[in-house]
Structure 1
Amino acid sequence: MKTIYTDQPRSAEEYLAPRADDWSDYRVRALAEGEKYLAAIDGILELVRENAHHSEEDGKVADSTVEAMISTGLFRSFTPLQYGGLEMAPAAFYEGVMRIAEADSSAAWIAGQLNIHAYEIALMDKRMQDEFWVDGPDTRASSSYAPIGKWEEVEGGYRLNGTWTFSSGVDHASWVILGGRDRNFVVPIEDVIIDHNSWDVQGLKGTGSKAVTLTDVFVPRYRTHHLIDTYNDQNLGWEVNNRPLYWMSWLSLFNSTPVNTAIGTALDGINIFIEQSRVRLTRQGTGAPAAQNPFLHLKVAESLSGVRTVKQRQLNTWREFFDIACEGKEVPSIDRMRLRYETAEAIAISFESLTHLWPIAGAAASASFNPLQQKLRDLMAARNHGSAGKELAAGQYVKAIFGLEPAPFSDFGTLAFYK
């Protein structure tokens, strides 16, 4: 039966009906797409690593690196099938980002950020989807969800003015998603002015997370994601994308994206430390090889084990969550809040894994040319991201454990508890 699209969402009951169908074939296909994607990712890692210095020097990821990532299917991971997308199992996508992060932290960061927004577009009005993917399934959007710009409702939509900051990967985007507390606006890149001088940082420099300014930009209503639709299980996009991938928690997926960069960066940093320690001699005492230091042994074991543990926890959780979606079920809020805490904790553990090794890295680690410097700076930047707020995430998780009333839905931040 052909789906007839309308401006108005159907009832939640109508949207829930397909969840009783058998989605086992869908699951098998999504997992197979993930395996092909991971094999393709392995084929570009040498190029990504060779280009990593451009990220640091230019303040944006090299165009050839982005083209290589496009070739793997990365940016169509969450694009709907009807637009040429893969609707891939999320765990595979996240693992691919981890692998990229071992070669270039900034490339991994924008890989995650530019792709996860396709998922939000898939929840929106079909007209928005048609416009977004008119040029192909690899279309990319950057974002700035902090509602620091201004908007007013006008006939047929909204008028935006002001500056939104920290739009990661905006140099490689065709659209920008801008936050307005309880709604998000999708704007063509031609309607914004990128402030290339706004990005002056020491960590994750290649992400190019620059500010964008809008002056009297009109955004039609259909290019607006009203978060109340997600809260009410009445996403307009479900008119055409009523399938397991899009039944998952959009904010769980979003908040789980930065941690993959932190994990991959930490693993590469630990490996760099190990390789440098193979040939380093201690300059005090006997001058014995650093690799024979028993204190170093313990620190390396602790750091490596900690990061590998949170890596597997992250991937296993998303395998479990996707299986639940393919069974037509919803992940309970307590488990989503557990994931929210665990992702924040994993970023902290990734950062601490390298700081744990730093006191025994030797004086040469302070040299600006030492690659450990960049790894540490990138992890410091990741640790300050909003998704890394371990304390807030712990509060939400433990409130769910005790059955305490959460904050009522009002905006982007509070939606995470509910959906």
Structure 2
Amino acid sequence: MNNSTATESFSTDISAPDRDTLVGRAEALREKLWEDAEESDRERRLTERAVSGVTGAGLMRLMTPKRMGGYQADVRTLLDVATELGRGCPSTAWVTGVLNVGNFVVSLFPEEAQEEVWRDNPDARTALVLGVPSRAVEPVDGGAVVSGEWAYASGSLHCEWVCLLVALGADTPQPHFALFRAEEVRVKDTWFFTGMRGTGSNTVVADRVFVPRHRLLPYLPVRNGEMDGLVDADNLYRNSMTGVFSLGLLGALIGGADAALRYVREKAPTRPVAGATYANQAESPTTQLALTEAATRIDTAELHARRIADTVHRHARAGRNPDLLTRARSRMDAAYVAQQCREAVDVLVTAYGSSAFHESNPLQRIWRDINVGSRHAGFGMGIPQQLYGRALVGADPRQISVLV
């Protein structure tokens, strides 16, 4: 599961970066990620060059505490970096987002666990799976013995640690994060999906693995932002979890949709309009209107994603948690972002024409990536709409889902 050292990387100075610097590093990777995206799609895993490039640029340290060698960046930086990476390869952006959010959760564990993860490697990466908690948990002295399977483990092929949800407790089991070393679990090859193939989101299997107590963390306080006193005083945004998980994914969708828009715009002056007298697609009002619609949808998606980030940041800096209505709205915002990105790409491939679906055309890969990624469980099944509607009438959305 660990990423081996690549023969080629995009080495970058990683000292004291601000947001603009980090986004600039992501932009510098875009062309190489674009070149490798086809191979990542074909092999169902990111290329070693892509992983080492993102890691070497320090972009796996975004959510790692400063005292552990990380950047302790804000969530807007996470979103903007993932968006820029998504313009090169949505799968790479998705994995980068997931691994950074995994590191965010590790930063809430006891210091002993953080030392284990980052003491010898500040670039250490943590895959996070928010799946159904395993019931095969046996409490023992000093911790618990865990068995089970967790599907959709994005980043599991490129991590040193894995963070999974387990149900812990005798009478009324409660969800806990359990932190495993990568070598303690097995990855079952199950990611045979049409899109986001490069994420390698396979199934993680644990077979009677002992997890010490310091690597077990109650989930509900993290969800509710009730971590006061357990986090760095200068890192207040960590006291509010609303939207953090979704922001690790949304940048990949926004960036991918924007890459499709750029591609169609660039090709329009040289592409014919079948059955018409226009010299090229750029002259056709139909194409112009399609580009307008797609660009507006992508702008709308980005504005809503930034509202999630700004909401997290504003409440955290004020030292207070957002109320349930705000949290439910952020779930709805995330679902709306995913929908806008998907619909924008649909408009673009239609405007481009049927050759968008030729296997050699990158549009068909982006179309597959966005259509799969936008249907992630966090965005789909009508649950975000139900949560927000319930909150709007004063009811508790947590009666529907714990992910709010």
Q: TM-score range by the shorter chain?
A: 0.7 to 0.9
Match of 2:370 among 363, 368, 379: 379
Displacement of 1:240 in angstroms is 4.9
Q: Name 1:210's counterpart in structure 2.
A: 202
Alignment of 1:330-369 (within 5 A): 330-369=321-360
1:320 deviates by 4.6
- Paired residue type of 1:312: L
| Percent identity between the two aligned chains | 24
Q: Quick check: 1:193 aligned with 2:178?
A: no
Q: CA–CA distance in 2 between the matches of 1:394 and 1:178? A: 26
C-alpha contact (below 8 Å) 1:303/1:353 kept by paired residues: yes
Alignment of 1:1-400 (within 5 A): 33-147=18-132, 149-155=134-140, 156-180=142-166, 182-196=175-189, 198-230=190-222, 235=227, 238-286=229-277, 288-389=279-380, 391-400=382-391
- Partner-residue secondary structure (3-state), 2:146: strand
CA contact (8 A) 2:261 2:291 kept: yes
Change (3 A) 1:223 1:323: same
Alpha-carbon distance change, 390 to 340 in structure 1, aligned in 2, over 3 angstroms: farther
Residue 186 of structure 1 aligns with an amino acid whose one-letter code is L
Letter in 1 for 2:176: R
Question: RMSD of aligned C-alpha atoms?
Answer: 2.3
2-structure distance, mates of 1:232, 1:355: 36
Determine helix, strand or coil for the equivalent of 1:172.
Answer: coil
Q: Deviations over 1:208-246 (max 9, x none)?
A: 1111222111112221121244367654x8435344445
Unaligned runs of 5+ in 2: 1-15, 168-174
Of the two structures, which has the highest relative contact order with CA contacts closer than 8 Å and spacing of 6 or more?
A: 1
Q: TM-score, normalised by structure 2?
A: 0.87
Deviates more, 1:351-360 or 1:103-112: 351-360
Whether contact under 8 Å (1:52, 1:103) holds in the other structure is yes
Instruction: Please list the CA deviations of residues 299-329 of structure 1 after superposition, one character each: whole Å capped at 9, or x if unmatched.
Output: 1101111111221332244235313322323
- Larger proportion of helix: 1
Aligned-partner SS, 1:239: coil
For residues 407 and 234 of structure 1, do their structure 2 counterparts lie closer, same or farther at Cα, with a shift above 3 Å needed?
closer
Shift of 1:376: 0.4
Distance 1:234 1:309, change over 3 A: closer
Distance 1:82 1:296, change over 3 A: same
Q: What one-letter code is carried by the residue in structure 2 that aligns with 1:110?
A: V
SS at structure 2 position matched to 1:86: coil
Distance 2:248 2:150 in 1: 21
Offset of residue 287 of structure 1:
6.2
Aligned-partner SS, 2:177: strand
For residues 407 and 347 of structure 1, the distance between their equivalents in structure 2, rounded to whole angstroms, comes to 22
SS at structure 1 position matched to 2:193: coil
Counterpart residue number, 1:11: none
- Report if aligned partners of 2:290, 2:351 keep a CA contact under 8 Å in 1: no
In structure 2, what is the equivalent of residue 9 of structure 1? none
* SS at structure 2 position matched to 1:163: strand
1:253-275 superposed Cα distances (whole Å, 9 cap, x missing partner)? 00222111111100111221222
Cα pair distance change 1:358/1:176, threshold 3 Å: same
Q: Quick one: which amino acid aligns to residue 31 of structure 2?
A: E
State which drifts further: 348-357 or 226-235. Answer: 226-235
- For 1:394, the aligned partner's letter is Q
3-state secondary structure, aligned to 1:147: strand
CA shift in 2, pair 1:240/1:283, >3 Å: closer
The answer as to whether partners of 1:341 and 1:390 remain within 8 angstroms in 2 is: no
One-letter code aligned to 2:201: S
SS of the counterpart of 1:385? Answer: coil
Contact 2:257/2:344, CA 8 A, preserved across alignment = yes
Q: Which runs of 5+ in 1 are unaligned?
A: 1-30
Distance 1:187 1:180 in 2: 12
- TM-score, normalising length from structure 1? 0.84
The alpha carbon displacement at 1:408 in A equals: 4.8
